Structures are given as C-alpha cells and as structure tokens.
Structure 1
Amino acid sequence: MMQTVSEWFFWERLWLPGDLSWSDLEDTEGRIYAKASQLYAALPCALCMLLVRFVFERFLATPLADVWGIRDKIRPTVERNPLLENYFCDQARVPSQADVTALCKKTSWSERRIQAWFRRRRNQERPGLRKRFCEASWRCAFYFFAFVYGVLALYDKPWFYNLKEVWAGFPKQSMLPSQYWYYILEMGFYISLLLSLSFDVKRKDFKEQVIHHTATLTLLSFSWVSNYIRIGTVVMALHDCADILLEGAKVFNYAKWRKTANTMFVVFTVLFVGTRVIIFPLWIIHCTWVYPLERFPPFFGYYFFNVMLVVLQMLHIYWAVLILRMFFKCIFSTLEGDDRSDEDEEDSDSQKERNHKPSHKNGPEARGRATGH
C-alpha cells in the first residue's frame, strides 16, 4: 500500500513538465540533482536549531538583557482560589457577564474582585519582557546570518540579476552545495518555529503564523522536489532582508532605545512594502507565472506552486496593513504597542486610573513576525 501511495504521490506528471521522468534527473557526469529524501535532514537541523537557540538565549541574549537593564514588569499575584482556578483552566480565560455573576454567588466575592482576579491570572501567563527580548534577539541573529549566507550564495549567479535565467535548462539544473545548505537551514528554522509556537510569545495572529510557516515549508519542499531551487533561493533572500530590521527594532525597543527602534521600524516598513507588496508579486510571481510558459506547457506543479505563492502574498498584504497602521501611529501619534501582541492588561479598577497612567511604550514594541515566514 505504501508503495502504491508513493508511486501516486511521485507521479511524474504531478511534479515535472512535458515528457520528463525522474530518470532524467538522476545524478550523472558530476551533475547532482535535488531529491526528496534529502529533505529529511531538515528535521535534525530543526532540533539543532532549538538547541542553538537555547544556548544563544541563555548565554548571549540574557546577559545582554542584564547589561541593558531589561527587567520583567512586576505583576500582582492572584489570590488562591481553587474554584476560579478550575474555571480559568477548564472553561474560559475571559468569563462572560453571566458567569461572573454566578462566580460571585459561589465565592461570595464582588464582581469587581472577580474581574480583577481574572485580569491578574491572564497576565501571569503572558510572557515577560526578557522572554520577548531573547526571542527577538534570536530571530534577528538568524535572519542576519541567513540573509548574508543567501547573498553570498546568489551574488555571482546570473538568475539573481535576470529572472528569466531561473528557467534556463529547467528542470535539468544541477544542485549546488550552497543551495542545499541554504534550503536545509531555512527549513530547519521554520520547522523549529512550528515546534516552539506553543511556548513562544503568542500573538493575535497566531493562526496566520501557523498558516505562514506551513505554506513556507510546503513551498520550500515542493520547490526542492520539483527543482524550483533557483527561484526558491531568491524568494528566501527577499524575505530575510526585511525581517532583520523588524526583529532588530524589537530588540532596541525593549532596551528603550526609542529613536533607534523607531528609525529601524520606518526603514523596515519601507523595505517590507517594497519587497513583499511590490517586488514579490510584480517580479517573483510574474517570473513563476509567465516565464515558464515560454519553455514548457503548464502542469500540476506549475499551478500548485503559483497558488501557494498567492497564499503567501495574501498574508503579506494582511501584515502590510497592520504594519502601515503602526507606521502612521509612529509618525503622527504615540505608538502604544503592537497590534498583534498579547499585551498585559492594566491592573486597575477604574477606567479613569487607566487613562491617567503614563504610557511606557513608544516605538515598534513587538510588532511581531510580519513575514513570514
């Protein structure tokens, strides 16, 4: 049965254009082609990424947070109440008005006291500032390394300057060692992001992040098997360049370097819109949608790959709206956090007190993983 499924899944008409077969992509005369089995290396790479991330955050990011005086906000502790704790864990983190009234009768507490307890309990589960700083530092370091590696792997390739060269000789394009390691590192990183979503800082666009990481891994896997490696490496480099500034802006904002963070966020906004809202659809998708038809008839893989790129582009537009909203707040008013972040709730019993609290945030606070990946 497994053999039948494998034969159907790797049917040449799904993955290759024209009359080509897998036998045409066997290693010969020093030419090495990409194979699906090579992608298994991404899983141990992801586990290594998690280990490297732990070491990085423990021995580099945490001491840097100490040097910059980054401290977690002191949060009031909640009173011990097994009834409310069971409700919080088993039913809902935010009780309805009817449930608050019922809990008041069961606990003999006032409604205000019940609501304050739930606010404090929710705040206890939110990540602290140091955790956010360490996470942003790790991502910034990885994107910087990945982008530099991508530029070094692409700068002397003709398809980096002329996208029509992406399809020259396709699909009989031999794989380069630099392309192999670029793919494995990027796939390992995104697998590690999926594995760590449960304990990473949770954003309001959690579902969009899962869709983005899954779509990215699907695109990378398909492009590898179908030998879309050239365009795949260009797409990865295009995405990584903006993410460096995004995560860097977070790092400096947590360190209260407001002007530096705001400047980086402004540059990031321009770069994000330029690369993902303009260059990505008008150059990259055009390259994968139009140029292949000049060389071979469309096949299933052609449609599948382009549909996945369109899904990615829709996510780009969604995040671009959020980023531009924060950008205008940063330029014309006071930015009070990230539209995607799950921020602490003010532990105050009156709206008046909340309104008179001084804002402690100004700049690209978390601004979240606006890419991507």
Structure 2
Amino acid sequence: MLCCRPGSLPGSQAVRSQRSSQEAGKQTTRMAHSLNEWLWQHKFWLPPGITWEDMKESEDIHYPKPRDLLLSIPFALILVVIRCVFERAIALPISAKLGVKDKLRPKAQPISILETFYTVNCKNPKEKPWLWDHRECWTGYPQQPLQPSLFWYYMLELSFYCSLVFTLPFDVKRKDFKEQIVHHAATIFLISFSYCANYIRIGTLVMVIHDASDCFLEPTKIFNYMKWKKTCDSLFMIFSAVFLISRLVIFPYTVLYNTYYYSMEIFQPFFGYYFVNALLITLQLLHIFWSCLIIHMVYKFMLQGTMEKDMRSETEESDVDEERENMMEKEKNGIAHFSNVTNRNYIQRNGSEPLNNRAHLTNGHVKER
C-alpha cells in the first residue's frame, strides 16, 4: 500500500485548481475570440463582394477603425468639465453682473482672416463634393479614405452626445425626457456604426443638417431666460423655419432618399444597409414629433403675439419665479382695487373723506386732513 507524504494532497489540489483556472481562462478567451469573429463578419458591415482585406491601409490612405471611437470617452469627460467650468466661472458671474436683463447687444466685428478664408475656400468647396452632389456619397464606397477634418468632426459630435447622456440625469426633467433618451441613443448608435462601416459621408450630411437648426436653439433659450422677449420671439421664428425645413424637407430628400435608393446603385442590401436606415427612420419620427410641438407653439404665437414657455418643459425655477412675480403683481393690483372700491363706498355712504386721507393720532382718534 502506497502512502503519500504529508502535504502532498493539498499541493495536488492546488495544481488541479490552477489548471482548471487556466482552462477556464482559455475557454473564455476562445469564446471572446469567436464572438469577435462573428461580430466583425464583413457581411454585417460591408457590401457584398467586399471584405476586410480590401480595406487595408497604407502610408497615405487611412480608413476608420472601431478603436478610434474610444477617444470619444475622454473627450466627452473633457467637455463635461469645460461645461461645468464655463457655467460656474464665466456664465454665472457674467449673468450676475449683467443682471440677466442687460440691454447691451454687442456687435460682431469683421475679421478679415476669416472672411478671406470663406471667400477663397467655402464658396467653391472641392474637398467634400458629396455635400452638394449626394451621389458622391457612394463613389468608391467602401474604399473611401478618412480625412482628418471628418475624423475630428465625428469625434467632437460623438463626444458631445456622450456628454449629454452623462449629464442627462442631472438636467431639468422635461415632458419629452423619454424622447430625448431615444434620440441620444439613436444618434450615438448611428454615429458609431456609420464610422465603423465607413458611412462617413452620409453621416456628415446627417450631422450638418442637425447642427443647422441647433445653432439657433441655444441663443433662443438664452434670450428667453434674459427676458428679451422680442429677440427671443424673432430667433424662435428663425429656428422654427430652419428646423421644419431641414428636418422635414432636406433630411428626407437628402439623407433618407439617398441611403434608400442611391446606395442600391452601388451594392446590394446587407445588414448595415437595413440597420442604418432603421436608425435614420427613428430620427425622422422624432423630427415629426418635435415638429408638431413647434408648429403648435408657432400657432399660439401667431394668435397671442408673444412666445409662450417651452411646451416640453415641466415647471422650472425660472417659470416658478415668473409665476410668483405675476401673482404678487396681481395681489397688489387686487389690494389697490379693493382699497379704491372701499373708499368710494365710504364716501357715498357718509359723504366724508376716505379713510386713507385721515391721520391717526397717538391716542387712537382720527384726525381729518
């Protein structure tokens, strides 16, 4: 009968446990590798007949890489920090000094360098012809080199929407809170997928169309909080026109029609085709939802002649303050009206001076003035 030395059994158990952990680690690695291979199958991301081997880079040609999207996370955090610093260190002191009601309207000074650049480069764009000829979005697809300007444009937009998601729980809850979540999620998925599948050109069109109206929305909110009613109303009408035209006319014709029909002239439908179109249709449904709200606000504006508060908003602090001021003003008007009515009734009954024209002496008697 063989005997084991003391301590040999625990050692063998440690070896077996170590081997089992190594096998589990290898199995996890194999599963992750299999999942990665399944996820990045070229039939999901590229048109038929095109593989990842056709997307090899060279010294002069670079294509989008999925790992580039990781840069949006630190950029989003940087934008959150910049936003907090700006709001607390710059916006709040300035608004306090200006009293939020300052009528100063600074006029932008002409900058010769920017005007020269616009005259030379922007009126005759040659680097991005797909902005004007939308069929160019599919010329050479998917072998379309990534330009540095488009790379940084994508990183900035993706970081911005990620920062909005990070701060969404801390912002004011509005009636369209769920729609905002759907919009941000669809936008982030659309930007990320279009980057990975090299839908850079069509993605650029989507972002430009959205940014066209957003640049009028924030100044409208600022002037609304400053209670510059006329300026706010004017900007809101401009924003409404740009939003309705860009989201209900230009977006369907330029983007949806482009991705649905023009792309079929180049390749057959595949998973990326259906996925991108589903996200774009989701955005269009949200455009219709917000357009209905805007049209209703414009209708109210045309009837009342002034802009009402944002229909999406629940009661905010500014609205509470304004309502409180209105209530105080109404109470004052009501007290004055009641005092006038009381004095007139007293004169009619007694034929003497009103009560507020009498002086009270220290002994409690009333002295006629």
TM-score by length of 2: 0.70
- What does residue 215 of structure 1 align with? 186
Which of 279, 282, 286 is residue 308 of structure 1 equivalent to? 279
Q: How does 1:58-97 map to 2 (within 5 A)?
A: 58-70=88-100
**Alpha-carbon deviation of 1:24?**
1.1
- What does residue 339 of structure 1 align with? 311
- Contact residue 138 and residue 263 of structure 2 kept, 8 A: yes
- What does residue 71 of structure 2 align with? 41
- What does residue 295 of structure 1 align with? 266
Paired amino acid for 1:231: I
**Alpha-carbon deviation of 1:63?**
2.3
When residues 298 and 357 of structure 1 are mapped into structure 2, their CA distance, relative to the original with a 3 A threshold, is: farther
Paired amino acid for 1:57: E
Identity across aligned pairs (percent)?
Answer: 44
| Equivalent-residue separation in structure 1 for 2:188 and 2:38 (angstroms) | 21
- Contact residue 346 and residue 354 of structure 1 kept, 8 A: no
Q: How does 1:85-164 map to 2 (within 5 A)?
A: 155-156=125-126, 157-164=128-135
- What does residue 99 of structure 1 align with? none
Matched, 1:50 2:83: no
Q: Based on CA coordinates, which of the two structures has the bigger radius of gyration?
A: 2
Matched, 1:186 2:157: yes
Paired amino acid for 2:75: C
Alpha-carbon displacement from aligned partner over 1:314-364 (angstroms, at most 9, x marks no partner): 0000000011111111222144311111115869xxxxx799689xxxxxx
Tell me the SS of whatever aligns to 2:308. Answer: coil
- What does residue 169 of structure 1 align with? 140
Q: List alignment gaps of at least 5 residues for structure 1.
A: 72-147, 348-352, 359-373
- What does residue 8 of structure 2 align with? none
Tell me the SS of whatever aligns to 1:197. Answer: helix
- What does residue 28 of structure 1 align with? 58
Which of 261, 268, 292 is residue 321 of structure 1 equivalent to? 292
Tell me the SS of whatever aligns to 2:169. Answer: coil
Alpha-carbon displacement from aligned partner over 1:228-287 (angstroms, at most 9, x marks no partner): 001111111110110111111010111111111100000100000000011101221101
- What does residue 254 of structure 1 align with? 225
When residues 249 and 194 of structure 1 are mapped into structure 2, their CA distance, relative to the original with a 3 A threshold, is: same
Alpha-carbon displacement from aligned partner over 1:151-210 (angstroms, at most 9, x marks no partner): 97x944111110000100000000000011000010001000000001112211111001
| Equivalent-residue separation in structure 1 for 2:75 and 2:320 (angstroms) | 41
- Contact residue 32 and residue 175 of structure 1 kept, 8 A: yes
When residues 169 and 28 of structure 1 are mapped into structure 2, their CA distance, relative to the original with a 3 A threshold, is: same
User: What stretches of structure 1 move > 6 A for 4+ residues in a row?
Assistant: none
| Equivalent-residue separation in structure 1 for 2:254 and 2:278 (angstroms) | 16
TM-score by length of 1: 0.70
Q: List alignment gaps of at least 5 residues for structure 2.
A: 1-30, 102-117, 322-326, 333-369
Q: How does 1:327-366 map to 2 (within 5 A)?
A: 327-333=298-304, 334-344=306-316
Paired amino acid for 1:312: L
| Equivalent-residue separation in structure 1 for 2:80 and 2:249 (angstroms) | 33
- Contact residue 203 and residue 342 of structure 1 kept, 8 A: yes
- Contact residue 66 and residue 195 of structure 2 kept, 8 A: yes
Tell me the SS of whatever aligns to 1:198. Answer: helix
Matched, 1:9 2:9: no
- What does residue 252 of structure 2 align with? 281
Tell me the SS of whatever aligns to 2:315. Answer: coil
Matched, 1:204 2:234: no
| Equivalent-residue separation in structure 1 for 2:331 and 2:100 (angstroms) | 21
Larger RCO (CA under 8 A, 6+ residues apart): 1
